[in-house]
Amino acid sequence: MATTQVCAHLDQIKNPKPNSKGCAECLKLGDTWVHLRLCESCGNVGCCDSSKNKHATKHARASGHPIIKSLERGENWLYCYLDDVMFEID
């Protein structure tokens, strides 16, 4: 029997505007990043886990905001840290 993973935090998606044009923390540090992720609760832009600073994950842990969206062109997905679920969006 196949199971479908479900995210219990979809009500926390607010579709915010990004708060910066790059990773907010890396920009403050004068550092670089690999890919960008958008916090769907508050609009914080953080770098992905392939980046050395992993600011998107650090933000999620510190804030409790569960869902990020990829800001990379051609990537249409969301990820919930709390449920460890990734899902495509239209």
Tell me if 35 is assigned to some domain: yes
* Residues spanned by the domain of 72: 10-88
Q: Alpha helices, DSSP H only, in the chain? A: 24-29, 55-63
The pTM score is 0.92
Whole-angstrom Cα Rg for the chain: 13
* Residue 3 domain-assigned (yes or no): no
Q: Are 13 and 90 in contact (CB under 8 A)?
A: no
Does residue 5 sit within a domain? Answer: no
Query: CB atoms < 10 A from the CB of 3, how many?
Result: 5
Number of domains in the chain: 1
Tokens at 38, concatenated: 């958008």
Domain presence at residue 4: no
CB atoms under 10 Å from CB of 23, counted, come to: 27
Domain with residue 47: its CATH number is 3.30.40.10
For residue range 7-64, what is the model confidence (pLDDT) as tens digits?
999 999 999 999 999 999 999 999 999 999 999 999 999 999 999 999 999 999 999 9
